[in-house]
Amino acid sequence: MHELQERLDTEQPSPTAAQVAEAAESERLNVTLPGGVMARLKQQALQEGRSCSSLATFLIEDGLRRHTSLQ
């Protein structure tokens, strides 16, 4: 029992949500889209057989690449 208590006393505290998010390879982002844009995203994702999230990720990455090359 004493050994268990010593382990609990010496363990580091649990990481905060911010620390976990910072260490993650990917993060969640909430974006509010106008209705027309969301409808187009859903339609395109359906045509491509993929999720809205997957298509949105691709489009953001593609947009960032294009934006960087324009500068």
Domain spans of the chain, in order of start: 34-71
Q: How far apart are CA 13 and CA 17, in angstroms?
A: 12
Q: How does residue 8 score in pLDDT terms, banded at 50, 70 and 90? A: low
Q: What are the tens digits of pLDDT across the range 11-67?
A: 667 777 777 667 778 888 899 999 999 999 999 999 999 999 999 999 999 999 998
DSSP three-state, residue 71: coil
